[in-house]
Structure 1
Amino acid sequence: MEQIARADSIAFNGRNIAMANAVIDEAGLRIGEDLRRGRGAGINPSGRFEPLTRHVFDDGWETIEDLPPFKTDVQVERPRTIITRNTSPDISFDRSINPYRGCEHGCVYCFARPTHAYMGLSPGLDFESKLFAKPDAARLLERELSRPGYVPRIIAIGTNTDPYQPIEKKWRIMREILEVLEAFGHPVGIVTKSALIMRDIDILSRMAERGLAKVALSVTTLDRKIARTMEPRAATPPRRLEAMRALNEAGIPVSVMIGPVIPGLNDSEIERILESAHAAGAREAGYIILRLPLEVSPIFKEWLLRHYPDRYRHVMSLIRSMRGGKDYDSEWGRRMKGTGPYAWQIGRRFEIAAKRLGLNTERRRLRTDLFRAKAKEEQLVLL
C-alpha cells in the first residue's frame, strides 16, 4: 500500500512520527475507533486481487458517523475435503485442519491474514470480523480417515487460525473433530491462544493417556497492555497460563510457543515467559520470529505507529536487520527464525533459558500405531 509505505519512509527516516500518522489519516485508510472497538487492525485495505481500493473519507454529508461498528459475521463454508497437506521442509507436520477461516482473536501480526484476499475480503478488519465456519468438518474427516490406504501421521490444528477462537463456543466444530480423532485413534497436535481448550480436557486427557494428543499454548507477552492491543480477543496471558496448568494436571503434554518474537517490543520477555510456562507445567518450548508477509506488513506498521510510535523506528530497524533489509524474507529455513546478529542473539537467549529450566530435554512423540480405520472395523462386523 503506497500510503503506508510513504508513512513508513517518513517515520523510518527520522522525521516527525505525527506526520507519518497524518499521511495514513489523510489517505482515509484508518477506521474510526468507535467502529472497530475491540479489534486488532486499524485499517481494512482491499485484498491484493481486487481491482479497486477502498478509502474512508468525509464526503461532506456526515455519513461516516452513521456507519455501523464492525460486528462478527459468520458464514458457512462447505469444502470438499478438510485435511490440508503441505510439503514445506521447515515445519514438522505434513497435514493440518482448519475448522474456521479468519480469526476473531484479531492478532495484528497474524501471518494468515493474507488468505482472506482469496475470498475477496480484506486481510485487515474483515479477517477478524467476517469469518467462515466449516460445520461439515467432522463428517469430512471421518470420510477421509476411512479411505483405503490412508497412512496416519500427526494432524496439526491451530497452525493457521485458532480452532478455539470465540465462535467455537457456539459452533463446537473443534470438539466434533476431536471426537472423530479419538474414535479413530489418530494423533493430533494443537496450538491455541484460548483458554476455551479447557472445555475439551475430557477428550484430550483420554487421548493423551494413549499417546495421541499434545497441546501448545501460544504466549506472546505477559504484559496485559500489549496483549490487549495486539491480541484483543485472545485469552489474557494469565488465562493461558491457567489453561496450561489445567492441561498438565490432566496428564496432557503441554508446551509453550513464543510466537511471534517481536524485536524491541516483546523480546525482553523471552526468559520470563519460559519461566512462567515452566511453572505452569510446560515441558517443551519453541519460538518464531515475527513474519510480515504481503498485507500483514502494512497492517502491523499502522498498528505500531498508532500504539507505539516512540518504538516504531527501533522495531522496524531490528526486523529488517533479521530479514536481509526487507520487512520479510519467505525463504524456507529463514522465515521462522530470521538471520543476522540480532536473530542469533534471540536464538541463543532462548536456548540458554530453555536449558536452564530443563525444557526440551525430551520431545513427546505421539503414536500412530493405534490408528484403526472405522470403515474396516464395520466391514469385519458384517462378515
Structure 2
Amino acid sequence: MPKSKHSSHFPSISCDEEWLRTSEDAEPVPEGAPPVRIALKGRGAVSAPLHRFAKEQREWLDDGWSGSMAQGAGTDAQDQEVSHDEAIWWQQAAQAPSTQVHEERARSAIQKNDSPDIFFDHSVNPYRGCEHGCIYCYARPYHSYLNLSPGLDFETQLFAKTNIAEVLRREIGHPRYRPASLNIGSATDCYQPIERDWRLTRQVIEVLHEACHPFSVITKSSGVERDIDLIARAASCKRSAVYITITTLDGRLARLLEPRAAAPHRRLQTIRRLAEAGIPVGVSVAPHIPFLNDDMEQVLEAAREAGATTAFYTVLRLPWELNGVFQQWLQAHYPQRAARVMERVRDLHQISDEERARGKSYSSDYLTRMKGQGLWAQLVRQRFARSCEQLGYGREREPLDWAPFAAWQQGQRGPQQSSLF
C-alpha cells in the first residue's frame, strides 16, 4: 500500500495564446475572485478561492507595485497583450500544485440518498476530492467542510478512506441493513488516477461480489477496465452495471473541462470493452453546458455504436462556491462567450432578475435541478429523447437480482433460534 502521501508533479504552465487574456477582451470575474488569466496545465480550477465557512474573506487589489503580469495583466484599459517573453517568464516562475493524498479512517462507508431525482438509494465513495479536476463537478463544495478550497484544493488535496472495505463489509452484514440500489463513485470518481496505487475501489467491489450485493459504477476513467473480471462475473448474475460519462467528443474541450480524465475516444473504447465482456453499459451525457458541449446527439450515437444500451443526461449545476469557480474558469478559457453561457445556464434554472442581480446561477429544487425547466430545458429534453428513440436506447436501467444477497445476509446472521411458544 502507498505511504500516507502520494505526489505527482506537473510543474509547467500552459502558454497557449488563447489562455493568456488581458483586461481588454475579458469580462469582469466574479466578486472576490482573483484576476487569474493563466490556466494551470493539468488542472481544472485556475485558483483556490476561500470556502464559504472561512473566517476571513480576501479580495485582490492592485496597489501598483507588483506590475501587470503578476496581477493578471493589470486593470488599465491600455494594457497590451502579454508578450511571448513575459509568458515564458511567468511559465518558469509559477508552479502548478502537486497532488497530495492523505489517509483517512472512515467511520461509515454507505451514504444514504433520499433525493427522488437520483437513481440510486445508497452510495460508496472510496475517496474525497478528485484528481480528474472536472471544473463543473457539483462535489467541489464538499471540500469546504474539510476547511479546504473547492477550487484547486479539491483536485490536489485528496483523501483515501483506507478502511472503506472493512467498514462496508460490516455495514452490509448488519442485521438492520436494508439492501437498496448502491452506486460506487457518486461524489468522486472511484477510478481517478490514484486508484492505480490505492486500489480501494477494487476492494469495495470484492466485498460486494463476495456478498452477492448488486451495485453500479459511474466513472469517466478507463481504469474500470482493470476490474472487468469481477464486474463481469457479477454482471453474469445480473448484479452489476457500469455508466460511463462522456461530456463531449471534442478532445480539446474535454482537456479543458476534465484535464486528467480519459480522452473521449478512450472512454468509447472502454464502453466497447465492457459491453464485449457482457457488462450492461450506459452512457451519461453530463453535464449539458450551453454553448460549450453542444454535441449531445453525436455523443449518444458514438456511445450506442460502442455498445451502450441506456443513457441519461443532466444540465450544469453550480451550487455554492462552484458558481464562482466555474465562472473564473470561463473567464480564463472563453472570455468572449462567458456572459452568454452564464445567461443561458440561469435560463435553464429559471433564475429571476432579482436573483441574477445577487449573482445566483442555480436552483436546488430537486424536482428540476437535474434537467432544468423552461423553454431551453424543454429543447434539450426533446433533443435527448429524440436521439435515444432513433438510436434504440432502452428507457429502463438493467434490473438487478437481490435474492443471492438476501441468502448471504441470512448466512451472516446464523441459524434462527426456534420459538419456545
**Deviation of 1:376 (Å):** 5.2
The residue aligned with 1:256 is 283
Cα pair 2:125 2:184 within 8 Å, conserved: yes
The residue aligned with 2:124 is 97
Q: Does 1:30 align with 2:56?
A: no
Show structure 2 runs of 5+ residues with no match.
1-22, 71-89, 352-359
Structure 1 letter corresponding to 2:259: P
Instruction: Report the RMSD for the aligned CA atoms in angstroms.
Output: 2.5
**Deviation of 1:149 (Å):** 3.0
Cα pair 2:26 2:331 within 8 Å, conserved: no
Q: Does 1:183 align with 2:220?
A: no
Aligned residue pair count: 362
Q: How far apart are the structure 1 equivalents of 2:321 and 2:211? A: 39
Q: How far apart are the structure 1 equivalents of 2:31 and 2:375? A: 36
- Alignment equivalent of 1:289, drawn from 311, 315, 318: 315
Structure 2 letter corresponding to 1:253: P
**Higher mean Cα deviation, 362-371 or 247-256?**
362-371
Superposed, 1:66-215 pairs within 5 Å as: 68-215=95-242
Q: How far apart are the structure 2 equivalents of 1:31 and 1:309? A: 10
**Higher mean Cα deviation, 236-245 or 301-310?**
301-310
Which structure: larger Rg?
A: 2
- Alignment equivalent of 1:273, drawn from 299, 320, 324: 299
Cα pair 2:127 2:188 within 8 Å, conserved: yes
**Deviation of 1:69 (Å):** 2.9
The residue aligned with 1:350 is 384
Secondary structure of 1:346 counterpart: helix
**Higher mean Cα deviation, 64-73 or 230-239?**
64-73
Q: How far apart are the structure 2 equivalents of 1:24 and 1:321? A: 19
Flag the structure with higher helix content: 1
Cα pair 1:93 1:155 within 8 Å, conserved: yes
Q: How far apart are the structure 1 equivalents of 2:234 and 2:126? A: 20
**Deviation of 1:37 (Å):** 2.2
Between the aligned residues of both structures, percent identity stands at 44
**Deviation of 1:368 (Å):** 1.2
Q: 1:193 to 1:342 in 2, by over 3 A?
A: same
Q: How far apart are the structure 1 equivalents of 2:243 and 2:285? A: 10
TM-score (structure 2 length as normaliser): 0.81
1:165-197: CA deviations, max 9, x gaps? 000000000000000000000010111000000
Q: How far apart are the structure 1 equivalents of 2:30 and 2:414? A: 66
The residue aligned with 2:75 is none
1:304-350: CA deviations, max 9, x gaps? 12111222222112111111124100001110000111110000010
Cα pair 2:30 2:327 within 8 Å, conserved: no
The residue aligned with 1:50 is 54
Q: 1:38 to 1:191 in 2, by over 3 A?
A: same
**Deviation of 1:148 (Å):** 0.9
Q: 1:74 to 1:54 in 2, by over 3 A?
A: farther
**Deviation of 1:209 (Å):** 0.3
**Deviation of 1:31 (Å):** 8.0
**Deviation of 1:89 (Å):** 2.0
1:215-261: CA deviations, max 9, x gaps? 00000000011000110000000110000000000000000000100
**Deviation of 1:199 (Å):** 0.3
Secondary structure of 1:370 counterpart: helix
TM-score (structure 1 length as normaliser): 0.88
- Alignment equivalent of 1:18, drawn from 22, 25, 48: 25
**Deviation of 1:153 (Å):** 1.6
The residue aligned with 1:7 is none
Q: How far apart are the structure 2 equivalents of 1:353 and 1:272? A: 9
